Amino acid sequence: MRAPSLRASSSALAIAVVVLTGACGIELSAVVVPPATTSDAGEVIDASRPDVTSPVDAGKDAEPLPFPTIVQVAAALDRACVVEVRGSLKCWGRNDVGQLGQGDTAARGDEPNEMGKMLQPVDLGPSAQVLQVALGDRHTCAVLGDRSLKCWGFNATGELGLGDYEVHGGKAGEMGTKLAPVNLGAGHTVKEVALGYEHSCAILDDGTLRCWGFNSRGQLGAGDTRNRGGVAADMGDSLKAIDLGGGRTVKHVAAGGEHTCAILDNDELKCWGSNSSGQLGYGDLNARGDAGGEMGGALKPVDLGPGRKARAIGAGTQHTCALLDDDTVKCWGNAYYGQCGTGDTNNRGDVAGEMGAALKAIELGQGHKAKGIGVGNNHTCVVLDNDELRCFGAGFDGQLGPLPGGATSWGWAVNQMGPNLASIDLGPSAKVRAVAAAEMQTCALLGNDVKCFGKNAFGSLGQGDLKDRGQLPADMGAALNPIPLF
CA 241 from centre of chain: 22
Per residue in 410-468, pLDDT (tens digit) is 999 989 999 999 999 999 999 999 999 999 999 999 989 999 999 999 999 999 999 99
Contacts 24+ apart (CB under 8 A), 48-54: 48/433, 49/85, 52/85, 54/129, 54/131, 54/145
Closest-CA residue to 335 (of 314, 349, 356): 349
Is 17-55+65-479 in CATH node 2.130.10.30? yes
Dihedral of the alpha carbons of 455, 456, 462, 464, in degrees to the nearest 10:
150
pLDDT mean over 129-137: 98
Kindly provide the b/e burial profile for residues 365-390, where b requires at least 16 CB atoms within 10 angstroms of the residue's own CB. Answer: eeebebbbbbbbbbbbbbbbeeebbb
Cross-sheet strand order for the sheet of 310-315: 310-315, 319-324, 329-333
Distance of alpha carbon 175 from alpha carbon 91, whole angstroms: 14
Query: Count of CB atoms within 10 A of residue 172's CB?
Result: 9
DSSP string across 122-142:
P--STT--EEEEEE-SSEEEE
pLDDT of residue 30: 31
Q: Identify the three-state secondary structure at position 298.
A: helix
Q: What residues contact residue 66 under an 8 Å CB cut-off, 6+ apart?
A: none
Cα angle 237, 243, 245 (rounded to 5 degrees) comes to 145
* Amino acid, single-letter form, for residue 310: A
pLDDT mean over 211-220: 98
pLDDT of residue 447: 87
Per residue in 66-107, pLDDT (tens digit) is 555 999 999 999 999 999 999 999 999 999 999 999 999 999
Distance of alpha carbon 45 from alpha carbon 17, whole angstroms: 17
Per residue in 19-71, pLDDT (tens digit) is 433 222 223 333 333 333 332 323 222 323 222 344 443 333 445 555 559 99
**H/E element, 73:** strand 70-76
Give the Å distances, CA to CA, from 290 to 87, 214, 220: 38, 12, 8
Percent residues over pLDDT 90 in the chain: 85
